[in-house]
Structure 1
Amino acid sequence: MNRYLTEGLTPVFGLEDVGGYGRDVALYLIEQGYFVKFVNSSLSNSERNSYAMTQKNDSWDAQCVANVLIRQLPHLPDTSPSDIHWVIGQLVGRRNAIIKAQTALKNQLHIQLNYHYPSYKDFFSEVDGKTALAFWESYPSPSHLKGVTMEGLRTFLLEASNNACSTRKAEKILLFVQADGEVKREYQTSRDFIIQSMVRNISYTKQEIKKMDTELKVTIQKLGMQLETMPGIDTVTASALIAEIGDIHRFTNSDKLARYSGVAPIKMGSGGKETMKKTKQGNRKLYDVFYNLAVQQVQVSKGSKIPRNPVFYAYYNQKQSEGKSKSQALLCIMRRLVRIVYGMMKNKTAYILLRMPETKAS
């Protein structure tokens, strides 16, 4: 590399991937004293698609990254692959993988139960709830309920649900099973085994998710941040924010964080007219986190009709009264959240919910 440098020039490296294999490269370059910038893959992809003939190979990818680096150098965040942020990112990724696997298992369980218990959706509100899983494992098909009395089933359900299920639940299940009629099929023993295997697997993933949440809570506490003091931010959301943002100090202000997360609109103009348009650039995972958080800020309690966060709820209604659509008002909430989260992470401060006159949502 040194042979390409002339005296007085400082090399700057741009890397797309600083979370996987690229992390080791970034660490090596930083340890050697070089400047390393993070190039969002959406930017390099846009660069690639801007040419009449698109191509995809390593050398062309590198050229596209270099083009973005040259043009956007002052605006690109510094790469800062610190170990704790990397670990949190890995934990979040592992948790997401478990959740995805659990969702697939639940879908498979729905298919199997549909054969065995046509009215299974009327049994339990959640097919993978604690009591439901205990029931499916002990009674994977109606044939296992033969000879079981209502009192016997009631006792089983009370024990499985920690005394939450009533006698009516047992009666309801037996009545539905009777109404469904005979559903026994060939190779029923193997079919039962499939359901019981799924139940064991789902129970295992639930325990793993609990362990993962505990590990995440312990790990993010080492950063000394107080993100969970904001309504709507639990351990999972806080971990996702930290994992996608990384070291907050690589962003000199909240505006850069907003651009990085795709929350800040971009200026579009033609013929002397300019307007601000929503962009699909930026870190889409981080964008989704801020979007979900914004939705929670303007939610209203179903029972009391009291807003979850009165300050944001009032701000949301104010923006709509100014003529903005619901989606535009929500984007304003997201932009405000970026500023607050940026300040909380940088200064390690808690969120203080301002007191407002308690009013019910209309």
Structure 2
Amino acid sequence: MNVYVGGDVSKGYADFCLMDEEGEILLEIQMDDTHKGHSRMGELIRECNRKVGPEEEMEIALEATGGMERNWLDLFRELGEDSEQDLKVYRFNPLVIRRFTEQRLHTNKTDEISARALANYLRLGLAEKKAAYTDAGPADGLKTLARKTQRMVNQSVDLKNELQALLQRAHPELVQYVRGHMSQWVLRLIKQYPTPSEVVEAGPETLSGIPYVTEEKAQSIVEAARTSVASQTDEDTALTLSLTAGDLLRLEKRINRLKERLWNRVRDRRAPRLLASIEGIGKWSAAVLYCEIGDITRFSSAKKLIAYAGLDPQREESGDIAREKTTGKQGNAHIRSVLYGCPAAAIRNSTNPPVRKLYDRLKERGKHQKVAEVACMRKLLAIVYGCWSNNERFDPTYEKRLKARQAEKKSTGEASGEQNADQSFDMSAPVSRKEAKKRRKATSPEKGAGPSARGQGAFLDEYHNGESASEQT
């Protein structure tokens, strides 16, 4: 007898549904996330396992619920190791199960219904191997630490924005020193002397005692403070500025320590070092990508990794109507967050030719800077997949050499350009004017360029080009 177990996990407990291969519900039960509840669940699984024949199977599925499912997954993993029979455990994205229930016209949602849907999903053989739970990859503690550090980085950004907005009213002469990078000496100065009057009272000699503040710079700051146009210089504002600067100093010091700790924990592993070799991706970004992606073998192509990160281009096409949207943004937000600043670093010194050329090409087409940067993020992630999956360091000349080989094959007639040779278009078909124009172009030798060459959109165009050039297959 095949047995399928679906579990809907909530805070402190979980609802389970046991179903046989005919879809009959064997048992519905709620278990607490405690030692007693785990013991009862273990006894139940072992009892069912004894009823499963050698050629039959027992599968268990849980939804990903922000980490609350981890205790149960660990229990089932231990039960599988103790059992002679293979116990398959899956963890699904809740969106997958929601779409499954919607296809079956079920609109109600309760914990019991979700558990039944999970068991039924397994019974119908819809589970993909990539959803199988495995403890391969970095430990969960590393991912937890990385996400905590990312939240602290976001807090730091919020404090910097708050400080800049307040300086505009309380000490506008210092705004020039906090554009872009906010140096430690500026924060120390603001913490000790938050208002122009306090800066003037301190004098150049005192200010020059702050590290990295030269006598010339101190004199310039004092002179500017004497003629300040600040409109908000009361003691309450001064206290707010001082506290904000102090919070930033402490927070950035802690962030730097955590980033260093995280890299030290993963630097002995091959994958993070490969990722750090990619121009534009530093040690911190490499460590976060390693923790968030986990096991690269879960993804069969760069396209699937890009979709997992929510950076896949969204295109809707039906008949003559085709719409291109921005990215999906339904994937891993932590990957998108850490990649956000990487294109600028890759473009700055042209040390990453594939990314730089893509950026320049999109800007020449008149694309907005943010559009170009998102396309470069997608390109970087495709390179990440290529380096990691092939266990190779980043090679800036790889794409150039790949295109040269492709051009050589095309010139010798080895290129596979015959994929549409067997497809003939009937121009007398009652198609729309737009479709007829497309068919004429496809059949005209002088206009036989591929769809990407005719500009179907930067998102889709560069997405496919970036994948094929960077998968390194």
* TM-score in terms of structure 1 length: 0.73
Q: CA deviation at 1:104?
A: 3.2
Determine the C-alpha separation between the residues in 1 that align with 2:359 and 2:158: 36
User: Per-residue CA shift, 1:224-262, capped at 9, x if unaligned?
Assistant: 222100101112211221222112233355454344334
The one of 2, 23, 27 equivalent to 2:70 is 23
Q: CA deviation at 1:210?
A: 0.7
Q: CA deviation at 1:217?
A: 0.8
- Shift of the 325–203 alpha-carbon distance from structure 1 to 2, 3 Å rule, reads closer
2:200–2:225 CA contact under 8 A, matched in 1: no
1:78–1:250 CA contact under 8 A, matched in 2: no
Give the structure 2 partner of residue 212 of structure 1: 258
- Shift of the 283–71 alpha-carbon distance from structure 1 to 2, 3 Å rule, reads farther
- The gaps in structure 2 that reach 5 residues or longer are 5-17, 22-52, 81-86, 402-473
Give the structure 1 partner of residue 153 of structure 2: 99
Give the structure 1 partner of residue 383 of structure 2: 340
Which letter does structure 1 place at the counterpart of 2:388? M
Which letter does structure 2 place at the counterpart of 1:237? S
Give the structure 1 partner of residue 88 of structure 2: 35
Determine the C-alpha separation between the residues in 2 that align with 1:179 and 1:127: 23
- Shift of the 10–251 alpha-carbon distance from structure 1 to 2, 3 Å rule, reads farther
SS of alignment partner, residue 138 of structure 2: helix
The one of 194, 212, 230 equivalent to 1:162 is 212
Determine the C-alpha separation between the residues in 2 that align with 1:267 and 1:218: 41
User: Per-residue CA shift, 1:310-344, capped at 9, x if unaligned?
Assistant: 234346667899x9978898777666544532343
1:75–1:256 CA contact under 8 A, matched in 2: no
Determine the C-alpha separation between the residues in 2 that align with 1:140 and 1:309: 42
Matching of residue 288 in structure 1 with residue 336 in structure 2: yes
1:137–1:196 CA contact under 8 A, matched in 2: yes
Q: CA deviation at 1:213?
A: 1.0
The one of 215, 229, 232 equivalent to 1:180 is 229
1:38–1:76 CA contact under 8 A, matched in 2: no
1:117–1:177 CA contact under 8 A, matched in 2: no
Q: CA deviation at 1:286?
A: 5.9
Stretch moving more, 196-205 or 285-294: 285-294
Matching of residue 90 in structure 1 with residue 90 in structure 2: no
The one of 353, 357, 362 equivalent to 1:310 is 353
Determine the C-alpha separation between the residues in 1 that align with 2:232 and 2:305: 57
1:266–1:279 CA contact under 8 A, matched in 2: yes
- Shift of the 14–318 alpha-carbon distance from structure 1 to 2, 3 Å rule, reads farther
Give the structure 1 partner of residue 269 of structure 2: 223
Q: CA deviation at 1:146?
A: 4.7
User: Per-residue CA shift, 1:141-180, capped at 9, x if unaligned?
Assistant: 234235444x425xx23x42435x4515532443344342
Q: CA deviation at 1:92?
A: 1.3
Higher relative contact order (CA 8 A, sep 6+): 1
SS of alignment partner, residue 76 of structure 2: helix
Higher strand content, 1 or 2: 2
Identity of aligned residues (%): 18
Matching of residue 202 in structure 1 with residue 231 in structure 2: no
Which letter does structure 2 place at the counterpart of 1:138? Q
1:36–1:78 CA contact under 8 A, matched in 2: yes
SS of alignment partner, residue 266 of structure 2: helix
1:1-362 mapped onto 2 (5 Å cutoff): 4-5=19-20, 8-17=55-64, 20-33=67-80, 34-46=87-99, 54-63=107-116, 65=118, 70=124, 72-74=126-128, 76-82=130-136, 84-110=138-164, 112-122=166-176, 124-125=178-179, 128-149=182-203, 151-153=204-206, 156-157=207-208, 159-162=209-212, 165=214, 167-168=216-217, 170-180=219-229, 184-185=233-234, 188=235, 191-225=237-271, 226=273, 227-263=275-311, 270=318, 280=328, 283-285=331-333, 288=336, 292=340, 295-296=343-344, 299-301=347-349, 307-314=350-357, 337-354=380-397
Determine the C-alpha separation between the residues in 1 that align with 2:79 and 2:288: 30
* TM-score in terms of structure 2 length: 0.58
Give the structure 2 partner of residue 360 of structure 1: none
User: Per-residue CA shift, 1:104-157, capped at 9, x if unaligned?
Assistant: 3334434554553244424554684211111112212234235444x425xx23
Stretch moving more, 327-336 or 104-113: 327-336
Which letter does structure 1 place at the counterpart of 2:175? K
Determine the C-alpha separation between the residues in 2 that align with 1:130 and 1:294: 23
Stretch moving more, 123-132 or 226-235: 123-132
User: Per-residue CA shift, 1:68-121, capped at 9, x if unaligned?
Assistant: 665752364322234734122111111112122223333443455455324442
- Shift of the 102–60 alpha-carbon distance from structure 1 to 2, 3 Å rule, reads farther
SS of alignment partner, residue 295 of structure 1: helix
Determine the C-alpha separation between the residues in 1 that align with 2:367 and 2:242: 49
1:40–1:283 CA contact under 8 A, matched in 2: no
Determine the C-alpha separation between the residues in 2 that align with 1:31 and 1:336: 39
- The gaps in structure 1 that reach 5 residues or longer are 302-306, 358-362
Give the structure 2 partner of residue 304 of structure 1: none
Q: CA deviation at 1:17?
A: 2.1
Determine the C-alpha separation between the residues in 1 that align with 2:252 and 2:115: 42
2:163–2:241 CA contact under 8 A, matched in 1: yes
Stretch moving more, 121-130 or 220-229: 121-130
Which letter does structure 1 place at the counterpart of 2:163? L
SS of alignment partner, residue 35 of structure 1: strand
Which letter does structure 2 place at the counterpart of 1:86? D
